[in-house]
Chain A
């Protein structure tokens, strides 16, 4: 499957600060999905990006797909304690397989 590098691995922010996680690939991706996993929980689908340069927003979350479709980012504005968890990017390959990045673990300090 497609290999991606996700950075940073860990991020601690004060509540109210912004947060960004990046997902980078050496090859062109057909599309990419983002998932969130709360501590002790299971991954939950957030969004899928398909088009070059696509930007999608979900309340305080902004997802971007690079123009070359080799990178993607998730930005959270004014973090809240409910944002705590690990965020994974996952490009899809053949047979509807996903290759999950290593994830960015977000801690929000109250």
Chain B
């Protein structure tokens, strides 16, 4: 069963804590992306990766970090430097230009 999985579905972060959101795909796609969505808003690009061991900052990369050690995996770390992390985080992968999204992770700050 091919697709993109994200875990966990809900994540709670304490002040000053780093948290890592998982994104895995078995679609054999080269490119992967992380977006942030705030309530009633569009999607804003955090980071993207076109190939293993390479990634680029998107429009709102500050306070976030990523790695791309394997083609299938593109984890996102929300660091303590991100002062307003509460949002819905969506991971996507693409072949050519069409993007396929995972189910998302909702991050809440306690």
Chain B binds chain A: yes
Which A residues are closer than 8 A to B by beta carbons?
A: 1, 6, 31, 33, 41-45, 48, 88, 92, 95-103, 105
B98 near A45 with CB under 8 A, answer: yes
Q: Are B104 and A42 in contact (CB under 8 A)?
A: yes
Assess the A96–B102 pair: CB atoms within 8 A: no
Complex contacts, A99 vs chain B, CB 8 Å: 45
Residues on B facing A (Cβ under 8 Å)? 31, 33, 35, 40-45, 48, 50, 56, 58-59, 90, 94, 96-104
- On whether the beta carbons of A97 and B103 are closer than 8 Å, the reply is no
Q: Is the CB of A96 within 8 A of B50?
A: yes
How far apart are B32's CB and chain A's nearest CB, in angstroms?
11
CB-based closest 7 A-B pairs: A42-B101, A100-B43, A102-B42, A100-B42, A92-B97, A45-B98, A43-B101
In the complex the two chains form, what is the Cα distance from A96 to B92 in whole Å?
12
19 inter-chain pairs at a CB distance below 8 angstroms, sorted by A residue, are A1-B59, A31-B97, A33-B98, A33-B99, A42-B102, A43-B99, A43-B101, A44-B101, A92-B97, A95-B31, A95-B48, A96-B31, A96-B94, A96-B96, A97-B48, A97-B58, A98-B45, A100-B44, A101-B42
